[in-house]
Structures are given as C-alpha cells and as structure tokens.
A and B are shown apart, each in its own frame.
Chain A
Amino acid sequence: MEKIVEVQNVEKIYGKAGEKQFKALSDVNFEVKPGEFVGIMGASGSGKTTLLNILSTLDTPTSGQVEIAGQDITKLNNNQMADFRANKIGFIFQDFNLLENLTAYENIALPLALQNKPVKSIKPSVMSIAEKLGLTDILNHYPTELSGGQKQRVAAARALVHQPSIVFGDEPTGALDSKSARALLDTLTKINREDNVSILLVTHDPFSASFCDRILFIKDGEIGQELKKEDATRAEYYQEILDSLGTFAE
C-alpha cells in the first residue's frame, strides 16, 4: 500500500442549489504516505475542520474522491461508515471526549469492545498501549480524577488501541498547558516513529505543527503552500512555519 490517504479534487459546498451557497473546500488534493506525520494548518474558518470531518467520514464531500487505506470512503453507507471509523480510524479531540462514567481502562477498551473483539485479547491490547503511553498506574481512575495531560494521553491510547490505519488529531493540544502539550506531542512523535503509525494533525498552533514531517496550509478552502521538515531541526522548522504563516496571509 503506497498511500494511506488520497484526496482528489474534493469540493464541499454548503447550502442548497438556488439558495445562498458557501464553498468550504474547493479542489483539494493531497496524499499521506504510511508512517507520515502530516499537519494541516489554517486559521479559523479556513476549512480545516470541514476537511477533517470529510476525512473521518462524519461528512461527505459535494464532489471529488477520498481514499483511505485503499477504500473510497465517499461511497459508503451509514453503517459501513461507522464500521470504517471503528476499524480504520483513531480520533483525538481537543476536549478529550472521554466518557466520565468509565474508568481510563474502560475508555481505552471501548473501541475494541465496539468491534466485538474476543474478550481475552482486549486486556493485553489495552495494557500494551497503556504501558507505551505511561498510563499503567492510572488505569482504574475515572477521567475526573485525572489531569488534562493524563486525560489526553488516555484519549490517545483510545485512538491507538485498535491499531487504526491513521490517527486524526483535531487540535489535540488545544486544551493542554504547555508542558502537557509538549509531552503529548513527544509521545505522538515516538509512536509515529517506532510503530510507523500515520498521523494527521489539524491545528492552528505553530508549536504543535513543528512536530510534523510536512505541513499543508489551508486558506479559504484551498490548499496553498506545503512545507516539509526534511533535515531541519524542530526549532528551525518552527521558525520556517512562523515565516510561512507571516506570508501566507498576504
């Protein structure tokens, strides 16, 4: 499999024909290779959330094609979409979205239970990802008993436990303090490198973006510039992002 995500000529128009229409995305094309850590940057209203919703099958494009892990997701029915999300996609949300009446362990195990995985296999999977993310000691805690950083790591574990083809992060550091944010990004980078998990991060924060291998800048529904990290250090890359943002608006 060469590409994990392939987006071709995607267009999204809100509003019915004849009414006042709004074009949220126009002619978007890009791809993500296996094991890549890609960022999508843009200001509020630039269309990045629309794009993420389409990629994660929560919304459908008006036209164009989206393939994820070799499957055209625009042609799925509702049930197939749900199955697709459950099997192929991991989600990390800005506000964690943990279920506060389940313990950390139960939250992490949820995607596996949803897929009706054999009960015996659930515990090893949860323990293994918990260990990787340093959550072993807090597995029996409820979300309200955890700090923001811990909550987001639990959410990350939940996104990774079923070994999805790709993990989508929607401003995952948005609700974290700088220390927790950095720890989470380090963890994601580690998992991306060691386990070859593809990650697609949507953010408007240059610091978060500087952890990516490649950044796509989106503005008014179109992908403009693309910035690759290549051999630059993170600090240098951060500076490049800031420069690009400075000129991108013009």
Chain B
Amino acid sequence: MLNKLALSGIKHRMRDYTVLFSGLMIASAIFYMFMSLATNQAFLSSNSPAAATSFIFGFGIVLLAIITIVYVNYANTFLLSMRQKEYGMFMMLGAKSSKISRMIFIETFAIGAISTIIGTLIGIVATGFVSRWLIGMLDMQVKHFSSFYLPALIWTFVFFIVIFMFSAIRNSVSLRRTKVLTLLNRDSQPVKIKRNGVLKAVQAVLGLILLAIGYFTMWFSGNNPGAIYLGIPVALVTIVGGTYLTINSFVTAVILMLKRRVNYSQKGLNNFTLSQLSFRINDYTKILSMVSIMFALALGAITVGLGFNNQIDNVVNGQNYYDVQVTNPDAAQQKRLKDLNIDKKVVYNYKTDGKKVYYRTSEFKKQPIGYSQINVKTMQSKLGTTSDIKKNSNAQYELMNTRLPETRGMQTEFVSDQDYNAINSKETSTVLIKTNSFKDNLSEIKAISKAEIKSYPALKNAGGDKYSAYTLINGFFSGLEFMGFFLGIAFLAMLASCLMFKILSGANGDVKRYNMLYKIGTKQKMLRATINKEIAVLFAVPAILGIIHVLIGLQLFVKLLYKPYMNIEIPFAIFIVLYLGYYFLTRYLYKKIVLK
C-alpha cells in the first residue's frame, strides 16, 4: 500500500522528476563521454606525442569525479526536498521509520540506476555525434577512437552505482534521524541571517590579493619555463582560494552597495532581486567558485586546443611558399587549377641529363621565386621572393622540392637561354601556385595533390608539397586539439548542469515568495524579469571570473604555442553560446516551477 502511495506521489510530481532525471542522465552521459577518451589508452598514446597526456586525463578524471559527486549530491538534496513532506506524512499516519527509510533507499537507488543506464546510452550517441562534428569541423585525423568503448561503460556504471549507493544510504539515514514534525515543516524553516561586515572586508581584500598572486605566478612561469613546476601548484591554490573569497565577499559588497543606492534599489523589484542574490551568494559561494574554476579549465582546454589548430597553420605556412605544385599538368589537372583562388602563379621549366638539373636564369628574372625561411629561435616563418636565385639557398631548397622525387638529389644549375637550348633532353614544366588562403582552398588543393600522386606515385612517400606537410602536421596536432575540445565541452556541460541543479533545487522554496509578490500586485512580466535577472547574475559571476582566469592563464602558453591569443574569439564564442543555452534552460525550468 505504501509503495503504491509512494509511486502515485511520483506521478504527481512528474515535472520535478523530469528535471531530476534529465539532470542525472546528463551527468552520466558526460561522464561516459569523458571516460571513452580517458580510459582508451590506445587512443591517447597514438594521438598525442606527449607523455603528459595520460597524466592530464588522470587529473581530468579526478576533477570530473569530484564534480559529479557534488552534482549527484545536489540532485539528491533536490529529491529529498521534494519527498520529505510526503514521507513525513506517511510516518505521521503510522508507517514505521524503518519501512520509510527502506522506501527512500529503493527510490534513490532506482532513480540512480535508471538514469545511469539511459544516460550512458545517450552518452554513447553523444560521443559519436560530438566526435564526428569535431573531426568534420576541424578536419582532424583521429585514430583508435570509437564512441562505444566497453571499459568506459563499465567504469561509468561502477562509479555511478557506488555514488548512488552512498546517496541512498545517506538519504535513508537522514530521514530516519529527522523528527516527523521537522519533515512536515521543513519548507517553513527560517532563513539564517548573517551580518559580519569587518570579516567580509578582510575577505574581499585577501581574495583580491590571492588572485593577484595567482595571476602573477601564471604570467611569470609562462615567460620563464623553468618556474612552471612550482608556478602551476602555486597558481592553482591561490586562484582557487582567491576565487572563493572574492565571490564570498566582493560580490556581496557590490550587491550591498547597489542596495544602498536607493535610487536604484527602491525601484520595482530591484531590492527584492538584490536581497535574493545576496542571500543566494552566501549559500552558493562554494558552487560558484567551483563553477568559475571549472569554467576557466574548460574554456582554457578549448582555447589551447584551438591554439594547436593555429599552430598547424603556422607550421604549414612555414614549410612552403607555394600552396600547390604540379608537374606537366594534363587537361584535368589544368581544370582543377582553375578552381583555385589564385594569388600568384609561376611556371618554371627544367631539363636533366641524369646528373644535373638545368633551369634558365632568365625565367627567374622574369618571375621571381617565393620561398619560406624559418627562424629557429622564435619558430616563426618568414616568406620572401627573389629574382636572383643563385644567391639564395632558401629559394633553391624550395625549388628543389617542387621537382619530381627522382631529380631532387641532383645538383641544380642555372644557365643562359643559349646553353639551355643546347641541352638535348625532354623538358619538364612545373606550375607553382600561391592561393589567397591555403585553408579556404583546402578541398581543391587536396584533390590536386591526390591527382598528382596518381600521376607520379613516387610523390606519395617523398611529399614535398604543402598539402603533404599539412597532412603530417595536422595528424600530429589533431589529437591534442580533439582532446582539448572534448575535455572542454564535457567540463562545461557538467559545470553548467551543476549550477542549474543548485538553482533549481532552491526553486521550491521560492514558490511562496513569488506567489506573495503576485498577490500584492506584481505583474507576471515583472516577476519573470526579476527571475531572469537573478539567474543571469548567478551565471555571469563565475563566467566573468572564469574568463579573466583564462585570459591571464594563457600566459602559461606564450612560449609553448604560436600566438596563444590568436583567434581567441572562436573558442570563447563557442563556449559562451553553450553556456547561454544552459542559462536559458535553467530560467525556463525555474519559471515552470515557481510561477503559476
């Protein structure tokens, strides 16, 4: 009978349970997605040259496990807050507390098990989808990766079963210990008031000092690579501490300041919103700090991942001046060349006697040759052109690589037109093209390079053109890039769902407040606006801090990456769009719970 009652209780709160289930499913889906990478040793070792990769992923697993536990904990509180009144009523009607605690145990565990199974399935699908999207979008080459990976599946199940087991035990114990009356009236438990101005001021100053130390350390160890082993732990500790203190005090101080400005606070519901926030922030300090740190790590991972993508461009453009090189183009190849967006085109002819290769000096006078030059110290490449090829070894090297492989080892001679005409052998013609952008013409260049290899199979191993350099380097960096993106997106989804849950678990307590405001004549529009504002601030505080952390944290990579701040708006935009999605979802769900 009681079981039936409990089930009917669930039916009546389908909406709340939908929120709970979807949240838990997201958690296990993300956990699986992450594990599918992290536990796949073949993938890790074949896609990253760095030994640190396994370590980074190990670190990632620990972090993700911690947030998942926190997350399940919030979800659990949400569940308990929904159910305690009902269970209190059963107890009042005479149900034994042992029976009730068994019921909550089964309920918690069942919810956990069902959501984990469905969530993992979603995780498998999502992993396939995300990886395909990433690989397609960024033209990546990823080896040994599959969206279904059994060890990851097992790890996810084991991990979630363990935490739900603990949650279930905790719920049943806490329910058994709580008095029936408290259970029945928990909604109306008073809010605690805290006033400690001096302590807050000290915290605010201390928080800013810690952040300053952390930022300085990152900047310093980025510019002095030797300091990095001490720098990273110091930065981690000071930034975590600084973030916590700043949110706990500085943000409250700003809110208080706004409250004191009566011209702002005494308008409409502003004062109510500010008070809600200042109370929330006290309660939310831990989660907001955690979210802002995670935000920084996730955004950092994506930014650095894309930084590797920029690295590809840099390295590839440093290899060759010309984007395309074609030997004796036939009609089909000529047609392909026409599809390119051509910036510069030159044609050089040569003859060979089996020992030497001969070019006409006059051809280079008429069409100066382009070449690239890498500065070994800065790893930056410089492009140039010259009409006096005899004196330029870089240009000679570039020219050598444009020939067919069998003639590359031969000595190059630059001769007069007369001497050239006297050589009695077949003439070979090389067409070199520089497009307006290698990346924008990538698909056409790829087709040309493939056709070229088909005509001259020796090119397959010898390479020499820009496209084969690109394939090599892209393969090298893609793995790192993929990991950065995947890590970033998984963390983001997790931290944003964490924040969403925390906010939603407080929603039940707000129903009464909003109902009262409605009764004394607040328009629905105004109520919705105040909810939007409140949730926006809760999302913005960690985001702003996180963005600052990343902007300064990139200093760590100034020596490692080519221009780490280049194209930074791309990862930021991707990240913010996803994060905004969570904001809109949260406020929609919140309003569904709170407003009529």
Interface residues of A (CB under 8 A from B): 56, 58, 78-79, 82-87, 89, 91, 93, 97, 99-102, 106, 109-114, 116, 119, 122-123, 142, 144-145, 158
Contact = CB atoms under 8 A, between A and B. Distances in A.
Contacts of B262: 119, 122-123
Contact of B267 (A56, A113, A142): A113
B276 A119 contact: no
Given A99-B513, A101-B279, A122-B266, A109 B271 contact: yes
Interface of B: 190-193, 262-263, 266-272, 275-276, 278-279, 512-513, 516-526
A142 B266 CA distance: 17
Contacts of B271: 102, 106, 109-110, 113
A116 B268 contact: yes
A119 B267 contact: yes
Nearest to B521: A86
A111 B279 contact: no
A248 B129 CA distance: 73
Chain A binding surface, main DSSP class: helix
Contacts of A83: 521, 523
A101 B519 contact: no
B522 A86 contact: yes
Contact of B266 (A91, A119, A145): A119
Contact of A113 (B193, B269, B279): B269
Contact of B275 (A56, A58, A101, A158): A101
By secondary structure, the B interface counts as: helix
B268 A113 contact: yes
A85 B526 CA distance: 14
Contacts of A158: 520
A82 B523 CA distance: 5
A58 B521 contact: no
Nearest to B190: A144
Contact of A85 (B191, B512, B519): B519
A125 to B, nearest CB: 11
A90 to B, nearest CB: 8
Contacts of B278: 101
A97 B522 CA distance: 14
Contact of B191 (A100, A111, A113): A100
Tell me which of B279, B516, B526 has the highest count of chain A C-beta atoms within 10 A of its own C-beta: B516
Among A101, A111, A113, chain B packs the most CB atoms within 10 A around the CB of A101
A109 B266 contact: yes
Nearest to A84: B521
B270 A145 contact: no
B270 A91 contact: no
Contacts of B279: 101
B266 A114 contact: no
Nearest to B193: A142
Contact of B193 (A97, A106, A144): A144
A113 B521 contact: no
A164 to B, nearest CB: 10
A161 B362 CA distance: 97
Nearest to A83: B521
User: Max chain A CB contacts within 10 Å: which of B276, B513, B525?
Assistant: B513
Contacts of B272: 99, 102, 110
Nearest to B262: A119
Contacts of B276: 101
A114 B521 contact: yes
Nearest to B515: A97
Given A99-B513, A100-B191, A144-B191, A82 B266 contact: no
B523 A113 contact: no
Given A82-B522, A91-B519, A100-B190, A114 B268 contact: yes
A173 to B, nearest CB: 19
A116 to B, nearest CB: 6
15 contacts: A79-B525, A82-B518, A83-B521, A85-B521, A86-B521, A101-B191, A102-B271, A102-B272, A110-B271, A111-B520, A113-B268, A114-B268, A114-B269, A116-B268, A119-B262
A110 B266 CA distance: 8
A97 B519 CA distance: 10
B58 to A, nearest CB: 43
Contacts of A109: 266, 271
A85 B524 CA distance: 13
Given A101-B278, A113-B271, A119-B262, 6 more contacts: A79-B525, A86-B520, A91-B520, A106-B275, A119-B266, A144-B192
A163 B183 CA distance: 40
B129 to A, nearest CB: 42
A56 B519 contact: yes
A78 B268 contact: no
Nearest to B275: A101
A129 to B, nearest CB: 15
A116 B267 contact: yes
Contact of A79 (B193, B267, B512, B523): B523
A97 B275 contact: no
A93 B517 CA distance: 12
Given A101-B191, A144-B191, A144-B193, A114 B512 contact: no
B521 A82 contact: yes
Contacts of B269: 113-114
Across the A-B interface, give the 7 residue pairs with the lowest CB-CB distance, nearest first: A86-B521, A85-B521, A144-B190, A101-B275, A82-B523, A97-B516, A101-B279
A87 B524 CA distance: 16
Contact of A114 (B191, B275, B520): B520
A84 B519 CA distance: 11
